[in-house]
A and B are shown apart, each in its own frame.
Chain A
């Protein structure tokens, strides 16, 4: 589904990702962990093709096709979708209009919005004054309408209260289950979302470098116990295979 090879990315002349290698098979869900500022969001923005994120080296291959030069909308139409951590406010476009503009096939906007407790938001300008949790649900509603094959979830649970996490988790599963080949990258700090969404593997991004690859729960435990710094030295000193690698 997705193959990233030797990817190095610059933002405003600063290197934010260095020599990233990663592969996602069809139907595979991967958790992406890492401290603030480590480049997680940058990786997502680069995959979808935002202009600020300049690839200086390496390739992104999606569905067997090199997409480095494709425009954002071309990538989106190929099947990549992002749930943004901080989407911009778009004045003048109501959430309902947005859903109408982007939904592929028949989509019952009212029904889906009420399931997400977003009915009252359909008539509001996109993201204008939405709370943290409301933004998450509005993003997921949009992804549900678009139905991408590769979903990039940027911190789906942060700022979401306990009750709504279950709702968010359920929705992510619905989006992923629309097609058995759908794959995802899920950025999480707390790992709460992994109680609802089954991740097959996990990895850690620190300082723009990918450090570990293995069982997501185990990685999370290790980070909780020892912190990210330990993870880096761990990866440096021991071949990573000995550590968190475990079979699916």
Chain B
């Protein structure tokens, strides 16, 4: 049981993620009935939702949106001033909403954005009216129940001026789903002085491909906090969400926690474009490879003087297989930008393992404890109640992972 700190002799590189044949997935699914009472989801659905942070009992929630395959099965707000409905419903209700579609995400960005436009299957519309501050988060769940389908959603979140909105979104599949394709367009608007805390937990299946296309527009004095957690196996996931800070003093913070199982391919980054004076950004990623491949990207672009931004990526290899490739990018366009990054990829120090083992933990237990500690969610700076929820979701995932 001697560990060797040797450099790899074989030069491994991450091959590009295989092209997806969109046509190989079915655009039809068995219709799912609207559920007045969310408690009537099956126990399997419930378990998989819970592992994605979505609680069908709606305890400590301000409202819920659940979409199964191509049907909205539940959409209701429990808090005055918060709106919850499908985007297709919202488009009928609000004429102005058209202006919010394809505004921060470009329609012609790639084949997935085009696909989502040509064949939209709802998506959630979540909105906090001006000044509304709810204690509990809204939750939204995009669920794939049938095997081999394509799900194209278009989501819109609007935190109106001075509001404080928390959102937990979970994406999950039924346990017997093997293959699928999820395309999710998400456009977020954080208006003047508002605060949006967006926490997304992915709980996909081994052969599901996932292509979120997400962007946020953050106005003066507003804060956008985005947390992303993916601990479960997924075939391949590629996303590079972006926040544009367009108002003075706007703040964006991205926290990402990734765990790549053997066979999983994650190409995940966060990008912040700082376009206004005094805007700030922080991008933090923790990536663990247990045999899968991770490309952890980060991109900060400072377009005006007086901005400050930092990028941090830490990777941990726990297997001889797999790869972590950190690609931090800083782009300063004028003098007077203050941007920095730090990246580190390593393996668990064997002194730490031996130390824990000397107290009676097996090698596996010691490793799991260190990995769990590495994936510490307290970096996310969540409100205590939300932190508890996220930790519960994570331990639900972990039970299966470790």
Q: Are B372 and A92 in contact (CB under 8 A)?
A: yes
Asked if residues A90 and B357 are in contact (CB atoms below 8 Å), the reply is: no
Q: Helix, strand, loop or mixed for chain B's interface?
A: helix
Cβ-neighbour of A93 out of B354, B358, B373 (below 8 A): B373
> Closest A-chain residue to B314, C-beta based?
A91
Nearest Cβ distance between residue A96 and chain B, in whole angstroms?
Answer: 12
What 1/0 flags go to B337-364 for Cβ under 8 Å of A?
0000000000001111011111111110
Q: Shortest Cβ distance from A73 into chain B, in angstroms?
A: 4
User: Known: A51-B350, A72-B357. Is A92-B362 also a contact (CB below 8 A)?
Assistant: no
> Within the complex, what minimum Cβ distance (angstroms) separates A80 from chain B?
8
Total chain B interface residues with beta-carbon distance under 8 A: 26
Q: A125 to chain B: closest CB distance in Å?
A: 8
Residues of B within 8 A of A125 (CB): 373
CB of B1 within 8 A of CB of A102, answer no
Nearest CB of B to A42, in Å: 14
Check A101/B365 contact, CB under 8 A, given A88-B349, A142-B359.
Answer: yes
Option from A71, A73, A87, A90 in Cβ contact (under 8 Å) with B370: A90
Contact with B along A50-74 (1 / 0, CB 8 A): 1100000000000000000001110
Is B363's CB under 8 angstroms from A90's CB?
no
Interface size on A, residues (CB 8 A): 26
- Residues of B contacting A73 with CB < 8 Å? 357-358, 360-363, 366
Find out whether the CB atom of B374 lies under 8 angstroms from the CB atom of A71: no
- Beta-carbon contact of B359 and A146 below 8 Å: yes
Assess whether A76 is interfacial by the CB under 8 Å rule: yes
B111: A residues at CB distance < 8 A? none
Interfacial residues of chain A within 68-111, with CB under 8 A of chain B in the complex? 71-73, 75-77, 81-82, 84, 87-88, 90-94, 97-98, 101-102
CB neighbours (8 Å) of B335 from chain A are none
Query: Would B350 and A48 count as touching, CB distance under 8 A?
Result: no
Interface pair A90/B360, CB less than 8 Å apart: no
A82 to B355, CA, bound (A): 9
Query: A125's closest neighbor in chain B, by CB?
Result: B373
B373 touches A92 (CB 8 A): yes
Contact check, B2 vs A146: say whether CB atoms are below 8 A apart: no
A-chain residues with CB within 8 Å of residue B350 when the two chains form the complex: 51
Q: Check A101–B355 contact: CB distance below 8 A.
A: no
Query: Are B352 and A76 closer than 8 Å at their CB atoms?
Result: no
Interface centre among B2, B351, B355, B370 (most CB of A within 10 A): B355
B3 within 8 A of A: yes
Q: How far is B373's CA from A48's CA once the two chains are assembled, in angstroms?
A: 25
CB < 8 Å neighbour of B354 from A72, A97, A98, A101: A72
CB distance from A13 to the nearest CB of B (A): 14
Whether the Cβ atoms of B370 and A93 lie closer than 8 Å is yes
Q: What residues on B are CB-neighbors of A101 within 8 Å?
A: 356, 359, 361, 365, 369
Of B354, B366, B374, the contact of A50 (CB 8 Å cutoff): B354
Question: Which among B3, B351, B357, B372 is the interface contact of A76 at CB below 8 angstroms?
Answer: B357
**Chain B hits for A75, CB < 8 A:** 358
Evaluate contact between B360 and A77: CB separation under 8 angstroms. yes
CB distance from A166 to the nearest CB of B (A): 26
CB distance from A230 to the nearest CB of B (A): 35
Interchain nearest-CB distance for A142 vs B (Å): 6
Task: List the B residue with the shortest CB-CB distance to A77.
Answer: B360
**Measured CA separation A72–B2 after assembly (Å):** 12
**What is the distance, in angstroms, from A156's C-beta to the closest C-beta of chain B?**
16
CA distance A92 to B356 in the complex (A): 13
Contact with A along B250-287 (1 / 0, CB 8 A): 00000000000000000000000000000000000000
On chain A, the residues within 8 Å of B354 by CB distance are 50-51, 72
Q: Which of B354-397 contact A (CB under 8 A)?
A: 354-363, 365-366, 369-370, 372-376
Give Cα distance in the complex from A94 to B370, angstroms. 10
Chain B residue numbers with a CB within 8 Å of A81 are: 358-359
- Inside 8 A of A88's CB, which chain B residues have their CB? 349, 351-352, 355
Given contacts A50-B354, A51-B2, A72-B354, contact A90 B373 (CB under 8 A): yes
Interface membership of chain B positions 1-37, coded 1 if the CB is closer than 8 angstroms to chain A and 0 otherwise: 1110000000000000000000000000000000000
CB proximity of B166 to chain A, nearest CB, Å: 25
Complexed CA–CA distance, A90 and B361 (Å): 14
- Given A72-B357, A72-B358, A76-B358, A91–B374 Cβ distance below 8 Å? yes
Of the listed residues B359, B363, B372, the one surrounded by the most CB atoms of chain A closer than 10 A to its CB is B359
Q: List 17 A-B contacts (CB under 8 A).
A: A48-B358, A50-B354, A71-B1, A73-B357, A75-B358, A77-B360, A88-B349, A88-B351, A90-B356, A92-B370, A92-B374, A92-B376, A93-B369, A93-B373, A94-B373, A98-B356, A146-B359
The interface of chain B, by Cβ under 8 A from chain A, is 1-3, 349-352, 354-363, 365-366, 369-370, 372-376
* A interface residues, Cβ below 8 angstroms from B: 48, 50-51, 71-73, 75-77, 81-82, 84, 87-88, 90-94, 97-98, 101-102, 125, 142, 146
Q: 4 tightest A-B contacts by CB?
A: A92-B373, A72-B357, A76-B360, A102-B359
11 additional contacts (CB under 8 A) given A90-B356, A94-B373, A146-B359? A50-B354, A50-B358, A72-B354, A72-B358, A73-B362, A73-B363, A76-B357, A88-B349, A91-B374, A93-B370, A102-B361
